[in-house]
Structure 1
Amino acid sequence: MTIRRRQQSGRYMAVALITALALALGACASRPGSSVLTPVTAVEGAKHVTIFVAGTRATDPSAPTFLTDRITATTTYVRYVVSIPPTHRPTEIEWPTDVPDPTRHFAIVSSERLDERRFFVEVGATAARGEGLGRDVAIFVHGFNNNFPESLFRTAQLTADVHVARSAVLFSWPSKAAVTGYLADKDAVTFSRDALARVVERVAADRHVRGMKLYAHSMGAWLTMESVRQIRIAKDERTLGKLIDLTLAAPDIDAEVFLQQLRIVGRLRSPVTVLVSKEDQALSISRFIAGGQFRAGAANIDDPQVLVEARNSNLRVIDITNLATQAGAGHDGFAAFASIYGRLPQSSDGRVSSDVGPGVYELDVANKFETLDARLVQRVADPTTIQR
């Protein structure tokens, strides 16, 4: 009887966990499929953004530029040109329900499979056509529960709204895009570490590329930190020297693992920016799955020890709870943060200014999201409360 009760309790817990995941991660009944990537004719007034895609997703045999949720040991390379509609609103993705209407929706104008050599030549050539900040390459790494159209269009949206680099690369790993696929996704990012490290190294090797900016979300942050750690272990100073910005949004990383990764990576050219939120339900569920282990993306900036670790580890920890709440974005609050990223103090080389150095900050939102006015307010803990 006791065993049966425990089995029933386990089943109830599993059902409750899946339900909670669905609510926390905003799962919906209908998600974009391959039809939204059907090429359309360009329209006047739309903005075109070129996204270079590299990753460990296998292609669909019937559609060679559509990447699936299956793993491939051979890195896939594709170039997409994404059309942003004239009516686009910052932070939004205007999704089609089927074949897109480019006057109203994000849409694909063209796509092409590339071999490895041509891919990196084109990434470097695109960077070379820029001036100043434009000679940088931004590399985006998506998170848990993302299918390919979602990660592609989110990268296009961020590229269009933030203007951080002339050349944009999406590293897309084979997420199962399911709330029940957490452990499978964890295996997929583990599998993808070498491939991401190679992409970063190849981009850095191009003489036309002035610098690289790495942006990673959720479980993609763990993948990114592992790849950068691998590059440090290989003593590849050329690559690390070109890494001018590393931003981790809602990193789904065990806090102690994160600190150990940082110890190996060491100091980079700029503090690592970590976007955290007290209201991130997805990370709460992740913590539950991990047996209660604390997640780096849920760091509490009111804890004096967080300030100590931020300063010791060269971290710029920014609490975006207020912004994520107003934007209604939850775990995806980083997308809203991107819309005001350019308003932060900038240095001459396109990094966040050294005035915003290692430490803990809170994004102070002064009014409604439609007319967002946000500024960083640094938290300075009472030195007497900090144990060193």
Structure 2
Amino acid sequence: MNTDIAPRSGLLRRTVVILATAVFLAGCATRPGPGSLKISQAAEDGALDHTIIVATTRQRATVSATYFTSERGDELNFATATVSVPPAHKPGQIEWPSAPPGDPATDFTLRSAGYLKDSTAFRAEIRKELARRKPGHRRAFLFVHGYNTRFPEALYRFTQVVHDAQVPSVPVLFTWASGGKVTDYVYDINSAQIARDALEQTIRDLVASGVERIDILAHSMGTYLLLETMRQISISPRGITRDDFGTVALAAPDIDIDLFKQQLQRTGKPEKPFLILVSRDDRALQASSLISGGKQRVGRYEHPEELAELGAIVIDLTALRGDPANHSKFAEIAQIGPNLRKAILHSQLGEETEAPSPTGGKVGDLIGRGANVVLTVPKAILSAPIQIFGAQ
């Protein structure tokens, strides 16, 4: 009898913690649902438009102003969307409309959107965007979102990152069929697994379109999907080489630490190391760890130097104040993305450096030499130093 009660009580405690965390993460704010993507006809001086090309495993929606649902489609779907960012935008934030379509003077607004017929049309759209850029700058920037993400959230979050980081590449959103609810964790991880072939095909389509490099940012459960897909590509006879990829950044990876270590040990130190953004106060990954039997997740790992020794560059954001769950800090540092990348390159060379901020001042300087480096950032941009553990 006692041996039965103890496991049950332990399970009950874990369940209570998970549910409490889920309620906390859900919060009280209204999230965009069906019909929230109405097109705005209004114009505003100073607002900037960004065109996002979309590949997705989601089903097309039958409800207007929705485009894609949380259900899994039978095949890849494609679209384009142009989103306007207001002139008073604050870096790291998404200024959500209080009601669709929103005011372009104060809100993110959808300016245009439409489906693409098939992968041929998708590749043609990529080529059209590449042709607008000079040789040497014809790259794609691919974003793979994480757990509990609805289509409008993925679209607007990616737009915010592209805008804040001043990304010159062609922005491509890969959005898989997340259920968009905190209770859909198992549905989401299965959806991520189902999306592996589709993500591989999207990457192959980008290569076939003539991109010079593919830079990738994956977040949360999207990092699991990305790494599974890259492993799948690596053992495929239809080769895509590592030279086809540029920077691969994993933000708050929701991956079992043992699985990730095994992957890195198997492949060896990569010629181009992954960038891994971690935060030891990530509450979403704490919940994920509980669901997964108590195993640490990569994005919350307490020993980032171990990951660096395996060939990664680890950026520790624990000291930064983030969103309530501390799970989306990557979005809040997007504005210093170009300078952070320069700093990382310098740290690999063992040099000290200062890099200009987007506003013309100093982002900060690298203190120390070797693998463990600290990037100090003024409070006007971020609230605390960023620690970097570099691959050697």
What TM-score bracket applies, with the shorter chain setting the length?
A: 0.7 to 0.9
Aligned equivalents of 1:15, 1:327: Cα separation in 2: 22
Task: Provide the secondary structure at the position in 2 that maps to 1:228.
Answer: helix
Superposed CA deviations along residues 64-107 of structure 1, whole A, max 9, x for unmatched, are: 86111100120110100001111111111000122111111101
Distance change in 2, residues 1:265/1:128 (3 Å)? farther
Q: 1:263 to 1:124 in 2, by over 3 A?
A: farther
Structure 2 residues without counterparts, runs of 5 or longer: 351-369
Distance in 1 separating the partners of 2:329 and 2:371: 18
CA distance in 1, matches of 2:124, 2:239: 22
Report whether the alignment pairs 1:82 with 2:83: yes
Q: Does 1:18 align with 2:14?
A: no
What is the TM-score normalised by the length of structure 2? 0.85
Secondary structure of the 2:68 match is: strand
Q: Percent identity between the aligned chains?
A: 34
The equivalences for 1:53-202 within 5 A come to: 53-63=54-64, 66-99=67-100, 100-114=102-116, 115-131=118-134, 134-202=137-205
Residue 310 (structure 1) aligned to one of 308, 311, 330: 308
- Tell me which residue corresponds to 1:330: 326
Seen in structure 2, the aligned counterparts of structure 1 residues 364 and 47 have a Cα distance that, compared at 3 Å, is same
| SS of equivalent to 1:234 | coil
Which one is further off, 254-263 or 359-368?
A: 359-368
How far does residue 51 in structure 1 lie from its aligned partner after superposition?
Answer: 0.6
For 2:5 and 2:342, how far apart are their aligned partners in 1?
61
Q: CA deviation at 1:62?
A: 3.2
What's the counterpart of residue 345 of structure 2? 353
Alignment of 1:266-345 (within 5 A): 266=268, 268-300=270-302, 303=303, 306-311=304-309, 313-323=310-320, 325=321, 330-345=326-341
**Structure 2: how far apart are the matches of 1:8 and 1:374?**
40
**Aligned residues of 2:51 and 2:82 also touching (Cα < 8 A):** yes
| 1:14 positional shift | 3.2
Q: CA, structure 1 residues 150+189, in 2 after alignment: closer, same or farther (shift >3 Å)? A: same
Query: Residue 6 of structure 1: CA displacement?
Result: 7.8
Count of matched residue positions in the alignment of Structure 1 and Structure 2: 368
1:197-276, aligned counterparts within 5 Å? 197-207=200-210, 209-266=211-268, 268-276=270-278
Distance 1:111 1:66, change over 3 A: same
Residues 258-315 of structure 1, C-alpha deviations (whole Å, 9 max, x = no match): 1223345555452100001111111111111110112111122xx4xx434423x320
Alignment-mate amino acid for residue 52 of structure 1: I
Q: Note the C-alpha offset of 1:134.
A: 3.6
TM-score normalised by structure 1 residue count: 0.85
Which of 346, 358, 382 is 1:372 aligned to?
382
Report the 3-state secondary structure (helix = DSSP H, G, I; strand = E; otherwise coil) of the residue aligned with 2:178.
coil
SS in 2 for 1:83: strand
CA distance in 1, matches of 2:373, 2:322: 14
Distance 1:12 1:379, change over 3 A: closer
Conservation of the 8 A alpha-carbon contact between 2:314 and 2:388 = no
CA RMSD of aligned residues (A): 2.9
Letter in 2 for 1:241: D
2:38: which partner in 1? 38
Contact 1:279 1:321 in 2 (8 A): yes
Matched AA of 1:242: D
The equivalent of 1:384 in structure 2 is: none
Q: Name the SS for the 1:169 alignment partner.
A: strand
| Residues 378 and 218 of structure 1: CA distance in aligned 2, closer, same or farther (over 3 Å) | closer
Q: Residue 353 of structure 2 corresponds to which residue in structure 1?
A: none
2:347 touches 2:373 (CA, 8 Å); kept in 1?
A: no
Report runs of 4+ in structure 1 exceeding 6 Å deviation. Answer: 1-9
Q: Offset at 1:194?
A: 0.8
Q: Distance in 2 between matches of 1:31 and 1:326?
A: 19
Aligned partners of 1:96, 1:362: CA distance in 2, in Å? Answer: 40
Give secondary structure in 1 for the equivalent of 2:333.
helix
Deviates more, 1:263-272 or 1:223-232: 263-272
Aligned 8 A contact 2:277 2:330 in 1: yes
Query: Does the aligned pair in 1 maintain the 2:317–2:386 contact within 8 Å?
Result: no
Moved more, 162-171 or 87-96: 162-171
- Please state how far the C-alpha of 1:22 moved relative to its aligned partner: 2.4
Q: Return 5+ residue gaps in structure 1 as ranges.
A: 381-388
Greater displacement, 61-70 / 122-131: 61-70
